Amino acid sequence: MVKAIEARGISLDQMAGASRGRGLSFPTEWTHLRKAIGLETRGKSKLSRREIETTGELFYEGERLDGLDDWVIRFLRRLVGPDNSEIFEKISKEVERIVAAKDASGLMEHYFADLRATRRDAYFAILTDFFRNYSEFSQVLYQVRLGARAPEDAAAGSTNFESVKTFYGDAFETFAGLVELFTMLNNLDAGREYGQGERLTLKKYRELDNASKFNPFAGNAVFTDLCVEIDNQIRNASHHRGIKLSADRHTVLYRAGKGGTGEEQSMTYVTYLDRCARIFMQIVVLLCVEIMMNFRQGQALFGGDSTS
């Protein structure tokens, strides 16, 4: 693993920095963050703010957290690692460019009135699922954060496959739904209305199968840089009971094809965890982009007042 990471030009100091300190407490911090989000959602803003203030002392060396969105994006940007942080910066700038150059008022009105709450719930659900199974994903998280693939001969210390066997499929479904934002922005960038694609209206786009929802913005390299881990075959297998763990508990067996009825394929359990973590990180980066988009519009995705 060290050799694979060094081959990407990452130093030993960077490796050490990724493995020590606050990074070890991601599940603990998520427990506090999830509580604050839950309190805010239930209308208990004062209790949520108290949780935010307390956590600033615990995890940020007394530095003030300016509300829920500030806390969420700080937490997630540490989680994703350096490569994904760079992708976040590029996409965030691209979104800002498009919104500044085009008339995005219609898109923003539609987003805040009809989409924001549903998208927030989708992000929260996949975050909750990931951290519910953190003990499994943490086995590959270190190298995923540093951009290194898991060694082919690596074996997992834990193989609680039953708890994560649908995670990739759920994450794929979530991500395919969320990239609608890229499609709408791409429509604007091309000089069209946000809901009018080159060939399809937004209504028709939403009727596409999930594997096709990445095609309308395929010409925007900044957006497609985030859409690397998107395997609809694994999704089909997991959602049609076509995925299982081998008898020795080291290999994931799955049937590709529509309905999970195709030829059986395989990958190591470690590779499966690795791919789950990667598609999850893509969702996290998009969430960070969306938080920044809200901020630039003077809004907050997760709500809540500033702690000031």
Distance between CA 203 and CA 212 in Å, rounded? 14
pLDDT of residue 240: 83
Q: Would the pLDDT of 241 be above 60?
A: yes
H or E segment and range at residue 286:
helix 269-296
pLDDT tens by residue, 42-94: 999 999 999 998 887 888 887 889 999 999 999 999 999 999 999 999 999 99
The amino acid present at 162, given as its one-letter code, is E
Residue 4 above 80 pLDDT? no
For the chain, the average pLDDT equals: 90
Q: Given a cut of 80, is residue 148 above it in pLDDT?
A: yes
pLDDT over 70 at 9, yes or no: no
Domain parsing of the chain, residue ranges: 13-296
pLDDT of residue 211: 93
**What's the Cα-to-Cα distance from 57 to each of 46, 61, 227, 289, rounded to whole Å?**
17, 5, 36, 26
Q: What is the pLDDT of residue 308?
A: 38
The three-point CA angle 111-113-118 to 5° equals 70
pLDDT over threshold 80, residue 172: yes
pLDDT at residue 21, rounded to an integer: 43
Question: Mean pLDDT over residues 139-147, rounded?
Answer: 90
Residue 268 is given by DSSP the state E
Choice between 1 and 218, residue whose per-residue pLDDT is larger: 218
How far is Cα 65 from Cα 33, in angstroms, rounded to an integer?
12
Q: Cβ(293)–Cβ(300) under 8 Å? A: no
Q: Residue 226: name the closest of 83, 81, 73, 71 by CA.
A: 83
Q: Six-digit token pair at 263?
A: 């030829």
End-to-end CA distance of the chain: 44
Of the listed ranges 50-64, 119-133, 268-282, the one predicted with least confidence: 50-64
